[in-house]
């Protein structure tokens, strides 16, 4: 029987519309093949939303997202909006949609793709076989804690304030996702904090340790964030699943992404307790190459695969997309960001055509 899913598309800014268009074509083909009826609807977020409505996340967009089974986001931001006040910045729209859909768990895989191992700035023997999942808390911590703002002191000096805070229940729910993720992967979970200095981290560590008692099949370890950053570039293969707070996760997931050498290849999933989840590439909107048909659409395609796997429970369709991506790389097709000697250079659209050909063969 046909499964029906309503998917909200958020193309956003920069290269967003180009990479999302390629991905939608691919989803349509896989849908036909596997009897899945995707109903696409599009909404505004980020800079384009600011230009058209004055707000980076219009109410109508949030409503449309809430009304759907999954949200597929491309990228937001660009030079044009960089100097607006914070409440009108594209990034604020991204934070608002995370909060508005209660997407507290952000899954960011950093997996070495054998064909692209040369793209890493680290030695091949250090990164070969790296397969890390960073589980980042996404709706709490210092990104959202109060008080926040720039205030004036008694001496009329300005003072900038943000607050890193986690409640027990916030730690528990992300820890649960992380333990369950680790169970499905290599059975190892490393919790990253700064418990030697921060009280909020001590609570984090206590709660994760307590939760660990329920998951005897997962080997739990703890690292301070500075050491974790060092270990990630020193010996990344020691990691399987990492769980950490919002800010540490932001930083460590970029470092983990760079192990693979190709941030243009990495997808992510942001999940709450219920649908819809939001799925987006880790890379940004690359305004410098927007509209030039140069963008790498593969992270967006892999984000659609994560949508199918984690958001819609369609693992078969997910595997088809992933297989097509690896096959395209195996056949030597490369966009500029991952190009190397002897490979076949293609643009965004042509890469999409290669994927379609592979899917239909
Ligand atoms: C990310 C980005 C965002 C974040 C920015 C664009 C708000 O860096 O998704 O990692 O800090 O969460
Ligand atoms: Mg980031």
DSSP string, 238-269: G-SEEEE-HHHHHHHHHHHHHHTT-GGG-EEE
Beta-bridge partner residues of 107: 135, 269
Distance (Å, rounded) from C-alpha 303 to C-alpha 269? 7
Q: What is the mean pLDDT of the chain?
A: 96
| CA 250 / ligand 2 centre spacing (Å) | 5
Nearest one of 204, 142, 148, 141 to 172, comparing CA atoms: 204
Beta-bridge partner residues of 10: 73
Secondary-structure percent of the chain, ordered helix, strand, coil, rounded to 5: 50, 20, 30
For residue 264, what pLDDT is reported?
85
Distance (Å, rounded) from C-alpha 253 to C-alpha 186? 18
| CA 189 / ligand 2 centre spacing (Å) | 21
Nearest ligand to the C-alpha atom of residue 136: 1
The domain defined by 107-262 carries CATH number 3.90.1150.10:
no
Residues with CB under 5 A from ligand 2 (ion): 250
Q: List, by residue range, all CATH 3.40.718.10 domains of the chain.
A: 1-104+272-361, 107-262
Summarize pLDDT for 28-82 with one digit per residue, the tens.
999 999 999 999 999 999 999 999 999 999 999 999 999 999 999 999 999 999 9
The ligand 1 site (C-beta within 6 Å) comprises 91, 94-95, 250
Cβ–Cβ < 8 Å for 65, 276: yes
How confident is the model over 193-218, as a mean pLDDT? 98
Cβ–Cβ < 8 Å for 236, 132: yes
pLDDT band at 262 (very low <50, low <70, confident <90, very high): confident
Angle of helix 16-34 versus helix 348-360 axis, rounded to 10: 10
Q: Is the peptide bond before 147 cis (omega within 30 degrees of 0)?
A: yes
Distance (Å, rounded) from C-alpha 166 to C-alpha 174? 11
What does DSSP say about strands 267-271 and 277-281: parallel, antiparallel, or unpaired?
antiparallel
For residue 110, what pLDDT is reported?
95
Other CB atoms within 10 Å distance of the CB of residue 17: 19
Q: What is the CATH number of domain 1-104+272-361?
A: 3.40.718.10
For residue 263, what pLDDT is reported?
83
What does DSSP say about strands 70-75 and 3-12: parallel, antiparallel, or unpaired?
parallel
Q: Which atom of ligand 1 is nearest to the CA of 76?
A: 6
Distance (Å, rounded) from C-alpha 134 to C-alpha 106? 8
């Amino acid at each position: 029987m046909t499964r029906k899913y309503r998917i909200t598309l958020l193309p956003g800014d920069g290269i967003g519309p180009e990479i999302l268009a390629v991905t939608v074509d691919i989803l349509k083909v896989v849908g036909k093949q596997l009897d899945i009826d995707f109903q696409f609807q599009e909404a505004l977020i980020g800079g384009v939303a600011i230009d058209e409505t004055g707000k980076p996340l219009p109410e109508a967009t949030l409503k449309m997202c809430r009304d759907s089974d999954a949200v597929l986001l491309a990228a937001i931001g660009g030079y044009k909006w960089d100097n607006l006040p914070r409440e009108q910045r594209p990034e604020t729209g991204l934070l608002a949609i995370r909060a508005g859909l209660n997407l507290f768990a952000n899954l960011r895989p950093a997996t070495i793709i054998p064909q692209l191992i040369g793209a890493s700035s680290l030695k091949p023997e250090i990164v070969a076989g790296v397969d890390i999942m960073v589980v980042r808390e996404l709706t709490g911590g210092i990104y959202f804690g109060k008080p926040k703002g720039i205030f004036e002191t008694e001496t009329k000096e300005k003072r900038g304030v943000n607050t890193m805070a986690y409640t027990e229940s916030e730690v528990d729910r992300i820890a649960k996702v992380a333990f369950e993720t680790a169970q499905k992967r290599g059975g190892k979970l490393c919790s990253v904090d700064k418990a030697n200095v921060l009280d909020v981290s001590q609570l984090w560590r206590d709660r994760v340790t307590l939760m660990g008692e329920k998951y005897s099949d997962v080997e739990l370890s703890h690292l301070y964030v500075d050491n974790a950053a060092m270990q990630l570039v020193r010996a990344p293969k020691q990691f399987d699943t990492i769980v950490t707070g919002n800010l540490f996760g932001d930083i460590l997931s970029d470092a983990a992404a760079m192990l693979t050498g190709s941030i243009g290849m990495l997808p992510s999933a942001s999940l709450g307790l219920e649908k819809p989840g939001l799925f987006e590439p880790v890379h940004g909107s690359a305004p410098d190459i927007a509209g030039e048909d140069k963008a790498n659409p593969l992270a967006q395609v892999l984000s659609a695969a994560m949508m199918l796997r984690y958001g819609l429970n369609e693992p078969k369709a997910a595997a088809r997309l992933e297989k097509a991506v690896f096959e395209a790389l195996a056949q030597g097709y490369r966009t500029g960001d991952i190009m190397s000697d002897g490979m076949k250079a293609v643009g965004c659209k042509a890469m999409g055509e290669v994927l379609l050909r592979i899917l239909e063969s």
